[in-house]
Amino acid sequence: MNLPNAECIPAAIKILENSDSLFKGAKALAEANLFGHATSTLILSMEESMKAVILFFDGNGFEFRKRVKGINNLFVNHKLRYPLALLLSGMNIFQDDLEEFVLSIKKEPGVIKEFNKNKNDKKWENLLNVYALKKMNQLIEEIKWFLNAEYLRQDGIYVDYDGTIKTPLDIPKEEFDKVYIRVARMRVFLVGFLNSLDQYNKDFDEELLKAFHDNKKRLIKEKVYSNIGDLISKYATRGSKPLEVLLYKVVDFQAEVLGFLEEE
């Protein structure tokens, strides 16, 4: 989208409104027992919100559309939106734990001091590895779901033949319910995430604003924009499978952590 930066946030709001409309439409389709069409519409709602994320960042002073080569592919290619959605979903996995951790620190401030004092202790190392293993299991499930998301979207729209005739009208309520829970959870997280990054938010304190501006500079200095552009160029080609590559890497890392814990 070739928008001036001043128009990015209004455009992002319009896109989120459209995403909300698709979400409501999906519920209406489900109430009519059209669960295949409803499932596809839910996924389209999620995809639409990913476009808003890019515009929201640029509207707050970042330069994704200016500096990331091939960024426009995210606005036209369904599959390229899924890695971004996966990234946000991965952040969501850790959000509840992070909030619980902050509350624990408020109740027991000495926990951080104890950790810094004994962070090389095997006990802490094992606890971190067990936690990482648990989260990797969740992340693997997320990757597998996003690997299948495009097929879910298509199955909910088109009649196909794969040994047997497949029709959207055969998709059951249970399948819709699974997707609904996931997309609804993503919507709640996304609203909170975008609000927390909005530099125009009245609750945005000075320290957070400074960190926000520092991150803008860091993305340029550390060539983050360029690296994202390289990834888009690599995976925008037909036949590329970025999520499959990521899945293999996470599974390999999971095996390494598991092996370490078994040695202990």
- The ranges assigned to domains in the chain are 5-263
Residue 253 predicted with pLDDT over 90:
no
Which tokens belong to 126? 């094992």
Write the CA distances from 176 to 35, 132, 152, integer angstroms.
Answer: 6, 30, 10
- Write the CB contacts of 258 (distance below 8 Å, at least 6 apart in sequence): 133
Higher pLDDT: 17 or 249? It is 17
Positive/negative CA dihedral, 92, 130, 261, 124: positive
Which tokens belong to 45? 């709602």
Residue 83 predicted with pLDDT over 80:
yes
- Write the CB contacts of 151 (distance below 8 Å, at least 6 apart in sequence): none
* pLDDT more than 90, % of the chain: 30
As beta bridge partners, residue 74 has: none
Rounded mean pLDDT, 4-25: 93
pLDDT for residue 201: 56
* pLDDT more than 70, % of the chain: 80
Angle at 29 between CA 27 and CA 30, to 5 degrees: 65
Cα(183)–Cα(187) distance, rounded to whole angstroms? Answer: 6
pLDDT for residue 132: 79
pLDDT for residue 154: 92
Higher pLDDT: 123 or 25? It is 25
Condensed to tens digits (0 to 9), the pLDDT of residues 137-156 reads: 888 999 999 988 988 999 99
Residue 41 pLDDT class (50, 70, 90 cuts): very high
Specify the pTM. Answer: 0.78
